[in-house]
Amino acid sequence: MFEGEKSTHSIYGIVLGIIAIVALGGIVYMVSSADTVDQSVTITTSAPTIASVTVKSGASCAAGTALNTTDSTFSLSEAGTTHEVHLCGTATDLNGFEEINTTTQYDAVLFDDAAENFPCTGDDNDCYLQPDGEGLTLSNCTSGTTCDFDFEIADIAYLANPSSSWTARVSITDDAAQAGNQTSSAFAINSLTAFAVTSAANFGAVALDATSTEQTVTFTNYGNVAVDAEQTANGNMTCTVGSIPVGNVEWSFSTGFIYGAGTDMTTGATTISTMSMAKSTVTGTPVTKAMYLLLDVPANGVGGTCTNIVTFTAVANA
């Protein structure tokens, strides 16, 4: 019995050994059938694009009115007030909106294409620069491949060129240093004829049958074109006693002129075409022109205080 049992154990051991070898072979076979392959790809960068740029007046792109050269021209008002426009559009980057969702990636310029070539040097006459996202608001920029932009240019001065060739250009550089840009259609800025004038001319005390000392009236051009003046008076100078004919006041653009060599004031509208006052080219440095006045008092029939009102209106220089 003992020896038989021993033999049986030996047979079992052989069989188990064979099974173990077969099982091991199966494990080796399975491992060799699951080898991995590492895959990788580098996506080619796509340059950003801007389909169009629209220039609008008003408080924002959403609330503004599109400008062009014919029916939505942009009007300025005289010095002391600046004006704003908005550059509106959508930027696209096919690599994803994350490539173009930082304001400093955007630059804008508004310029008079008839006076300046791009790139231009910033000045209030014909070139307004908005670098590094200055005045920019981005929206709808949280998914997909696009971002909407609203560039506010809020400091357009009264002296900006009157021209139908004003153009906007927006450019963008994405995270991969790829660049794109787009230019708007042209729009017009209207001519502005405007000036300010000294509010009063006081000849002081003048004797009968005498000529006053010279008084000065100063004109300041607050428009964007050269101007002349149109003069009219509301009538003779009315005095406490009597009156002084309106034409007894003479004007000249030459200081020290002699009475009789000047031009008489008039009640009817008279254009002063010799004014020819140029427009300013630098904000804060207005162009001025002095007009000199003399009054001749009649020899009799007047007394007391004498007054009238003279109106000067800016007109385009002929």
In-domain check, residue 302: yes
Domain containing residue 102: 49-189
What's the half-sphere exposure (Cβ side, CA atoms, 13 Å) at 68? Answer: 4
Q: Which pair of tokens denotes residue 238?
A: 């009315």
CATH number, domain with residue 312: 2.60.40
Do 147 and 235 share a domain, yes or no?
no
In-domain check, residue 1: no
In DSSP terms, which residues pair with 231 in a beta bridge?
270, 312
Look at the chain and report how many structural domains it folds into: 2
Do 204 and 312 share a domain, yes or no?
yes
End of a domain among 154, 189, 224?
189
In-domain check, residue 146: yes
Do 222 and 305 share a domain, yes or no?
yes
Do 273 and 255 share a domain, yes or no?
yes
In-domain check, residue 89: yes
End of a domain among 169, 189, 209?
189
Cα–Cα dist 189/278, whole Å: 18
Do 212 and 287 share a domain, yes or no?
yes
61 φψ region: left (φ > 0), alpha (ψ -120 to 50), beta (else): alpha
Do 66 and 133 share a domain, yes or no?
yes
In-domain check, residue 65: yes
Cα–Cα dist 274/265, whole Å: 15
Q: Which residues of 56-73 are buried (b: 16+ CB within 10 A; e: fewer)?
A: bbeeebeebebbbeeeeb
End of a domain among 159, 189, 219?
189
Tell me, what's the pLDDT at 32? Answer: 55
Instruction: Look at residue 19 and give its three-state secondary structure.
Output: helix
CA distances from 123 to 134, 222, 263, 280 (A): 16, 17, 39, 12
Q: Nearest Cα to 172, choosing from 148, 197, 204, 144?
A: 148
Do 183 and 124 share a domain, yes or no?
yes
Contacts of 163 by beta carbon, 8 Å cutoff, 6+ apart: 112, 114, 115, 126, 188, 189
Tell me, what's the pLDDT at 212? Answer: 98
Please state the length of the chain: 318
Tell me, what's the pLDDT at 283? Answer: 87
Cα–Cα dist 173/171, whole Å: 7
Q: What is the pLDDT along the chain (318 residues), one digit of tens a residue?
A: 444 444 444 444 444 444 444 444 444 444 557 889 999 998 888 999 999 999 999 889 999 899 988 777 788 887 778 899 999 999 999 999 999 999 999 999 999 999 999 999 999 999 999 999 999 999 999 999 999 999 999 999 999 999 999 999 999 999 999 999 999 999 999 999 999 999 899 999 999 999 999 999 999 999 999 999 999 999 999 999 999 999 999 999 999 999 999 999 999 999 999 999 999 999 889 999 999 999 999 999 999 999 999 999 999 998
Tell me, what's the pLDDT at 152? Answer: 96
In-domain check, residue 181: yes
Do 174 and 200 share a domain, yes or no?
no
Do 170 and 220 share a domain, yes or no?
no
Cα–Cα dist 172/170, whole Å: 7
In-domain check, residue 7: no
Cα–Cα dist 126/162, whole Å: 9
Q: Which pairing describes strands 187-189 and 215-221: parallel, antiparallel, or unpaired?
A: unpaired
Residue found under tokens 């494990």: 27
Q: What is the dihedral of CA 68, 114, 88, 85, to 10 degrees?
A: -80
Tell me, what's the pLDDT at 9? Answer: 46
Tell me, what's the pLDDT at 220? Answer: 96
Do 173 and 200 share a domain, yes or no?
no
In-domain check, residue 14: no
